Structures are given as structure tokens and as C-alpha cells.
Homo-oligomer: A and B are copies of this chain.
């Protein structure tokens, strides 16, 4: 359900949600959210294409969130980069199943439907406001060396 692409997109959006007004380059963002820069560049293109982030060129350019975090859901972010797949039709293409799914695929789709609704019902603002340190923010034990360390050294 959650590909690595969706995971990076969510980390990036949550990070930028705390940086409103402060553009962040792909290289900076890659360090902050522990993502490979080249991979992240493609993820950011996907987010930019649907207007979730906007990029500014120039010396102090970079990405910033283009939408109100209160109007942006986790599902929006996932769908921007790696569409959430429901079972819309028989995966085997059985002609007799045009009018509905079989018991197996109906159950699988029910699971996906619940997951999709939960992701649709949760905004980025809710994630940002929830108590608890986001892992896309520098964690306490490392705050003194922020900016000097490379992303890898910040992992366990």
C-alpha cells in the first residue's frame, strides 16, 4: 500500500509543512528526510505536477508547500506519486465478473477501501499538530550538530 516513493513524498510534505515560507532545495530536503537526492527529485516532480508543492528558482529558491496542510490529506500525497490502487474490476478479466468482484477480490478490495478512507480522512495538518516529535524533524539528541552531519550519520 505504501511504496518507498509514497513514503518519501509523505516525509517531504510533512517536513515542508513545518517550513512554510522557507523554500528548501532537493539536496537540503534529501538530507533532512534521509532520501536519495536523485530519487527524491523525481518524487518532488510528482508533487509539483499536481500542485502540492511549488518550486522557486534562484539563490534562495527551493520547494515549499503550495497547499494549506489542513486541506491536504495523506491520500492526496500518496496519489500524487504512486496512485493508491483499489480492485476496480476482476484482475483476471473474467467476462462473468463484469457486474462485480468475486468473494476473494471483494474482500481484498474491502481492506483497501477501509485503508483508503482512513488516508482520505487524515490531513497533513492533523499529523503536524499531533503530539510527538516527527521523524522528519531533527531529533533532540542530534540537534546540536544539525547542519554538520550527513544524513547517513543520523541513522541508527
**How many A residues have CB within 8 A of the partner chain?**
51
Interface majority SS (helix, strand, loop, mixed), chain A = helix
Q: Contacts of A100 on B, CB cut-off 8 Å?
A: 132
Q: Contacts of A115 on B, CB cut-off 8 Å?
A: 1, 111, 114-115
Number of copies: 2
A96 within 8 A of B: yes
A118 within 8 A of B: yes
Residue of B nearest to A100 (CB): B132
A91 within 8 A of B: yes
A59 within 8 A of B: no
A81 within 8 A of B: no
Q: Is the CB of B94 within 8 A of A154?
A: yes
Q: Is the CB of B1 within 8 A of A96?
A: no
